[in-house]
Amino acid sequence: MRLPTTTVLSLSLAVLALAGCSNNTSASPNPTPSTAAARTEDHNAPADKPLSSAAMANRLLDESDLGEGYTRKPETTAGHDDVTVIGCSALAELGGQAAVGSSLDFPRSAKVSFIYAGSSGSEVSEELYSDTAAKLSTGVNRIFNAMTSCPAYQVSVGSTLIDVHTQTTGAPRLGDEQWSQLLTYSTGGRRSVVKQTAIRAGAILVVVSGSPALVDAHIAAAVRTAIAH
Protein backbone atom coordinates (compact mmCIF):
# COMPACT_ATOMS: atom_id res chain seq x y z
CA MET A 1 0.00 0.00 0.00
CA ARG A 2 1.30 3.42 -0.90
CA LEU A 3 1.17 6.33 1.49
CA PRO A 4 -1.54 9.00 1.72
CA THR A 5 -0.63 12.40 0.33
CA THR A 6 -0.02 13.92 3.75
CA THR A 7 2.26 11.06 4.73
CA VAL A 8 4.26 11.34 1.50
CA LEU A 9 4.68 15.06 2.09
CA SER A 10 6.03 14.66 5.62
CA LEU A 11 8.09 11.66 4.58
CA SER A 12 9.83 13.66 1.86
CA LEU A 13 10.73 16.30 4.44
CA ALA A 14 12.01 13.68 6.85
CA VAL A 15 14.05 11.82 4.25
CA LEU A 16 15.64 15.11 3.20
CA ALA A 17 16.70 15.76 6.77
CA LEU A 18 17.91 12.20 7.28
CA ALA A 19 19.89 12.30 4.07
CA GLY A 20 21.73 15.29 5.48
CA CYS A 21 23.08 12.99 8.22
CA SER A 22 22.02 15.39 10.98
CA ASN A 23 20.83 14.19 14.36
CA ASN A 24 19.79 17.69 15.42
CA THR A 25 16.03 18.11 15.05
CA SER A 26 16.02 21.63 16.47
CA ALA A 27 18.45 23.25 14.06
CA SER A 28 15.81 25.49 12.49
CA PRO A 29 16.62 29.18 12.40
CA ASN A 30 14.76 31.57 14.64
CA PRO A 31 11.65 32.39 12.57
CA THR A 32 10.94 35.99 11.71
CA PRO A 33 7.43 37.20 12.59
CA SER A 34 5.23 36.61 9.57
CA THR A 35 4.22 39.50 7.37
CA ALA A 36 1.14 37.72 6.04
CA ALA A 37 -1.06 39.37 8.66
CA ALA A 38 -0.35 42.73 7.06
CA ARG A 39 -1.88 41.48 3.83
CA THR A 40 -5.19 40.50 5.44
CA GLU A 41 -7.78 42.02 7.74
CA ASP A 42 -9.33 40.50 10.82
CA HIS A 43 -12.85 40.77 9.45
CA ASN A 44 -12.08 38.41 6.55
CA ALA A 45 -14.30 35.34 6.70
CA PRO A 46 -13.56 31.90 5.22
CA ALA A 47 -15.10 30.99 1.89
CA ASP A 48 -18.36 29.07 2.18
CA LYS A 49 -18.10 27.66 -1.36
CA PRO A 50 -15.22 25.74 -2.97
CA LEU A 51 -12.54 27.88 -4.61
CA SER A 52 -10.62 27.15 -7.78
CA SER A 53 -7.00 25.99 -7.71
CA ALA A 54 -5.96 29.28 -9.30
CA ALA A 55 -7.69 31.27 -6.57
CA MET A 56 -5.98 29.23 -3.86
CA ALA A 57 -2.56 29.61 -5.48
CA ASN A 58 -2.87 33.33 -4.80
CA ARG A 59 -3.52 32.61 -1.11
CA LEU A 60 -0.34 30.66 -0.40
CA LEU A 61 2.44 32.05 1.77
CA ASP A 62 5.47 33.50 0.00
CA GLU A 63 9.11 34.07 0.88
CA SER A 64 8.44 37.36 2.65
CA ASP A 65 6.18 35.57 5.13
CA LEU A 66 8.92 33.21 6.26
CA GLY A 67 11.77 35.63 6.82
CA GLU A 68 15.21 36.13 5.36
CA GLY A 69 17.01 33.13 3.94
CA TYR A 70 14.05 31.16 2.60
CA THR A 71 13.61 30.26 -1.05
CA ARG A 72 10.82 28.50 -2.86
CA LYS A 73 11.55 24.86 -3.57
CA PRO A 74 10.89 23.69 -7.15
CA GLU A 75 7.90 21.39 -7.47
CA THR A 76 8.59 17.78 -8.27
CA THR A 77 6.44 15.30 -10.17
CA ALA A 78 8.29 12.20 -8.99
CA GLY A 79 6.03 9.32 -8.04
CA HIS A 80 6.09 7.37 -4.81
CA ASP A 81 5.22 3.91 -6.13
CA ASP A 82 8.09 2.39 -4.15
CA VAL A 83 6.79 3.68 -0.80
CA THR A 84 4.96 1.08 1.31
CA VAL A 85 3.60 0.94 4.86
CA ILE A 86 4.35 -2.01 7.12
CA GLY A 87 2.57 -2.76 10.39
CA CYS A 88 -0.41 -0.39 10.29
CA SER A 89 -3.68 -2.09 9.41
CA ALA A 90 -5.64 1.16 9.71
CA LEU A 91 -3.63 2.67 6.88
CA ALA A 92 -3.84 -0.57 4.91
CA GLU A 93 -7.63 -0.50 5.18
CA LEU A 94 -7.66 2.73 3.16
CA GLY A 95 -6.75 0.56 0.19
CA GLY A 96 -6.13 1.98 -3.26
CA GLN A 97 -7.60 5.38 -2.38
CA ALA A 98 -4.69 5.95 -0.03
CA ALA A 99 -2.32 5.85 -2.99
CA VAL A 100 -3.81 9.12 -4.22
CA GLY A 101 -4.38 10.73 -0.86
CA SER A 102 -7.78 9.14 -0.11
CA SER A 103 -10.35 11.86 0.56
CA LEU A 104 -7.59 14.50 0.40
CA ASP A 105 -7.33 13.94 -3.34
CA PHE A 106 -9.45 17.01 -4.00
CA PRO A 107 -9.31 18.46 -7.53
CA ARG A 108 -9.00 22.01 -6.18
CA SER A 109 -5.60 22.39 -4.58
CA ALA A 110 -2.42 24.45 -4.42
CA LYS A 111 0.88 23.88 -2.66
CA VAL A 112 4.27 25.38 -2.08
CA SER A 113 7.47 24.35 -0.28
CA PHE A 114 10.35 26.42 1.05
CA ILE A 115 13.87 25.54 2.10
CA TYR A 116 16.21 27.52 4.32
CA ALA A 117 19.62 28.31 2.86
CA GLY A 118 21.49 27.44 6.04
CA SER A 119 20.01 24.08 7.03
CA SER A 120 18.75 21.06 5.11
CA GLY A 121 16.48 20.23 8.05
CA SER A 122 14.60 23.53 7.87
CA GLU A 123 11.91 22.97 5.31
CA VAL A 124 8.26 23.95 5.51
CA SER A 125 5.47 23.14 3.08
CA GLU A 126 1.93 24.42 2.71
CA GLU A 127 -0.98 22.73 0.96
CA LEU A 128 -4.39 24.29 0.34
CA TYR A 129 -7.46 22.27 -0.57
CA SER A 130 -11.01 23.40 -1.26
CA ASP A 131 -14.30 21.54 -1.31
CA THR A 132 -17.49 21.56 0.70
CA ALA A 133 -16.95 21.77 4.45
CA ALA A 134 -18.45 18.29 4.92
CA LYS A 135 -16.13 16.64 2.39
CA LEU A 136 -13.06 18.36 3.78
CA SER A 137 -13.93 17.35 7.33
CA THR A 138 -14.60 13.72 6.39
CA GLY A 139 -11.42 13.45 4.34
CA VAL A 140 -9.08 14.87 6.95
CA ASN A 141 -10.61 12.91 9.81
CA ARG A 142 -10.24 9.69 7.86
CA ILE A 143 -6.55 10.22 7.12
CA PHE A 144 -5.50 11.62 10.50
CA ASN A 145 -7.44 8.99 12.45
CA ALA A 146 -5.81 6.22 10.45
CA MET A 147 -2.32 7.63 10.87
CA THR A 148 -2.56 8.36 14.58
CA SER A 149 -4.21 5.01 15.34
CA CYS A 150 -0.81 3.43 14.72
CA PRO A 151 1.69 4.90 17.21
CA ALA A 152 4.49 2.97 15.52
CA TYR A 153 4.93 1.40 12.10
CA GLN A 154 7.52 1.20 9.33
CA VAL A 155 7.82 2.75 5.90
CA SER A 156 9.80 1.12 3.12
CA VAL A 157 11.25 3.54 0.58
CA GLY A 158 13.03 1.49 -2.05
CA SER A 159 15.67 -0.44 -0.10
CA THR A 160 15.48 1.88 2.94
CA LEU A 161 13.38 0.94 5.96
CA ILE A 162 12.26 3.86 8.13
CA ASP A 163 10.71 3.56 11.59
CA VAL A 164 7.78 5.93 12.13
CA HIS A 165 6.23 7.03 15.42
CA THR A 166 3.11 9.21 15.46
CA GLN A 167 1.72 11.37 18.24
CA THR A 168 -1.37 13.57 18.30
CA THR A 169 -0.54 17.06 19.49
CA GLY A 170 -2.49 20.20 20.24
CA ALA A 171 -3.53 22.44 17.36
CA PRO A 172 -4.16 26.19 17.57
CA ARG A 173 -7.80 27.23 17.85
CA LEU A 174 -8.09 28.56 14.33
CA GLY A 175 -10.85 28.11 11.79
CA ASP A 176 -13.66 25.61 12.28
CA GLU A 177 -11.71 22.36 12.80
CA GLN A 178 -8.13 21.58 13.74
CA TRP A 179 -5.83 18.56 13.57
CA SER A 180 -2.14 18.23 14.42
CA GLN A 181 0.38 15.45 14.79
CA LEU A 182 4.10 14.83 15.23
CA LEU A 183 5.80 12.18 13.10
CA THR A 184 9.22 10.94 14.16
CA TYR A 185 11.27 9.14 11.51
CA SER A 186 14.44 7.20 12.24
CA THR A 187 16.79 5.08 10.17
CA GLY A 188 20.46 4.20 10.34
CA GLY A 189 20.88 5.96 13.67
CA ARG A 190 19.49 9.23 12.31
CA ARG A 191 16.27 10.86 13.44
CA SER A 192 13.95 13.56 12.13
CA VAL A 193 10.74 15.07 13.51
CA VAL A 194 8.06 16.54 11.27
CA LYS A 195 4.92 18.32 12.42
CA GLN A 196 1.70 18.48 10.43
CA THR A 197 -1.09 20.87 11.35
CA ALA A 198 -4.33 21.05 9.39
CA ILE A 199 -6.96 23.75 9.79
CA ARG A 200 -10.35 23.80 8.09
CA ALA A 201 -11.87 27.24 7.68
CA GLY A 202 -15.14 27.01 5.82
CA ALA A 203 -14.51 25.48 2.40
CA ILE A 204 -10.70 25.79 2.68
CA LEU A 205 -8.28 23.34 4.25
CA VAL A 206 -4.79 24.55 5.18
CA VAL A 207 -2.08 21.94 5.83
CA VAL A 208 1.36 23.10 6.99
CA SER A 209 4.13 20.52 7.43
CA GLY A 210 7.79 20.67 8.37
CA SER A 211 10.00 21.62 11.28
CA PRO A 212 7.76 21.85 14.39
CA ALA A 213 9.03 25.34 15.24
CA LEU A 214 8.34 26.61 11.74
CA VAL A 215 4.88 25.06 11.57
CA ASP A 216 3.94 26.66 14.88
CA ALA A 217 5.37 30.01 13.77
CA HIS A 218 3.55 30.19 10.43
CA ILE A 219 0.28 28.25 10.69
CA ALA A 220 -1.74 31.26 11.85
CA ALA A 221 -0.42 33.41 9.01
CA ALA A 222 -1.13 30.63 6.53
CA VAL A 223 -4.75 30.46 7.68
CA ARG A 224 -5.20 34.24 7.63
CA THR A 225 -3.80 34.46 4.11
CA ALA A 226 -5.84 31.50 2.87
CA ILE A 227 -9.17 32.98 3.95
CA ALA A 228 -8.40 36.48 2.68
CA HIS A 229 -10.76 37.71 -0.03
One-letter amino acid of 52: S
What's the pLDDT band for 21 if we cut at 50, 70, 90? very low
Q: Given a cut of 80, is residue 127 above it in pLDDT? A: yes
What's the pLDDT band for 9 if we cut at 50, 70, 90? low
**pTM of the model as a whole:** 0.80
CATH, residue 100: 3.40.1000.70
Range of the domain at 58: 5-226
The strand order across the sheet containing 70-72 reads 70-72, 109-116, 119-130, 204-210, 190-201, 177-187, 160-168, 152-157, 83-86
Q: Given a cut of 70, is residue 72 above it in pLDDT? A: yes
Which pLDDT belongs to residue 136? 93
Q: What mean pLDDT is predicted for residues 141-147?
A: 85
Q: Which of 17-31, 131-145, 161-175, 197-211 is predicted least confidently? A: 17-31
Q: How many structural domains comprise the chain?
A: 1
